[in-house]
C-alpha cells in the first residue's frame, strides 16, 4: 500500500533529526556545521522523486549525511589554502614588541645566569655547556670527556640547581 511521499519524511524528521545531528556533531565538533550537514541531508531526501523505492529511509538519510560529511572534509584543505594564502609575495613583518625595559630586564637576567655559571667548577661548566648549548646527550658528553654518565647527570643537576637558586635570589 503506497504511502504519501511527504508523510514518511515528516515522521523521519521528527524521529531522526536529533540523532543525526548528534552523530554529525561528534564527528565535526562544530554545532553549526553539523546542523548544516543535517539540513542538507534532509533537503536531498526531499528532492528525490520516488521515496517508496527506498527500503530503509533512515539508513539512506544517514548514508547521505555521511557522504556530505566526506565532501565537507574533502573541501577543507582547499578552504584553508584560500584563507591562509598571502596576499603579497612577502609575508608581513612581525611587530617589534620589545621595549627598553624588557630588554634591560632580559640582559640583567642573562648577566645573573652568566655569573651563576661562573661560580661552578670548570668541569661542571663544561658539561652544562655541552648539554644545554651544544645539544649533546648525556651519553655523548660522557664519551667525549671520558667520564661516567652518572658524573654527567650529577653535574647537570648541580648546575641547574645552582642556576635556579642564584636566579631566584632578589
Each residue of 5-63: pLDDT tens digit? 556 788 888 888 889 998 898 888 888 999 999 999 989 988 888 877 888 888 888 99
Residue 170 to residue 164: CA distance in whole angstroms: 12
In the chain the domains, ranked by start, together with CATH numbers, are 6-84 (no CATH), 111-168 (1.10.10.10)
From the list 168, 123, 167, 131, the residue with the least C-alpha distance to 147 is: 123
Residue 140 to residue 166: CA distance in whole angstroms: 28
What is the pTM for the complete model shown? 0.44
Predicted confidence (pLDDT) per residue in 41-50, tens digit: 989 988 888 8
| Dihedral sign of CA atoms 107, 113, 116, 120 in order | negative
CA distances to 5, 6, 67 from 53, rounded to whole Å, are: 11, 14, 20
Distance of CA 141 to the CA centre of its chain: 34
Taking the CA atoms of residue 96, residue 164, residue 167 and residue 136 in that order, the dihedral angle to the nearest 10 degrees is -50
- What backbone phi and psi angles, to 5 degrees, belong to 118? -65, -25
Amino acid at each position: 500500500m503506497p504511502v504519501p511521499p511527504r508523510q514518511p519524511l515528516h515522521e523521519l524528521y521528527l524521529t531522526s533529526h536529533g540523532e543525526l545531528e548528534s552523530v554529525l556533531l561528534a564527528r565535526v565538533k562544530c554545532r553549526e556545521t553539523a546542523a548544516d550537514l543535517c539540513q542538507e541531508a534532509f533537503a536531498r531526501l526531499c528532492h528525490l522523486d520516488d521515496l517508496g523505492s527506498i527500503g530503509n529511509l533512515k539508513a539512506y538519510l544517514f548514508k547521505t549525511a555521511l557522504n556530505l560529511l566526506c565532501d565537507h572534509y574533502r573541501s577543507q584543505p582547499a578552504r584553508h589554502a584560500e584563507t591562509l594564502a598571502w596576499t603579497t609575495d612577502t609575508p608581513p613583518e612581525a611587530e617589534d614588541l620589545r621595549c627598553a625595559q624588557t630588554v634591560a630586564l632580559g640582559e640583567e637576567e642573562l648577566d645573573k645566569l652568566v655569573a651563576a655559571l661562573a661560580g661552578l667548577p670548570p668541569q661542571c661548566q663544561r658539561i652544562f655547556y655541552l648539554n644545554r648549548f651544544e645539544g649533546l646527550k648525556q651519553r655523548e658528553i660522557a664519551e667525549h670527556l671520558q667520564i661516567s654518565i652518572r658524573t654527567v647527570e650529577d653535574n647537570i643537576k648541580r648546575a641547574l640547581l645552582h642556576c635556579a637558586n642564584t636566579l631566584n635570589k632578589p
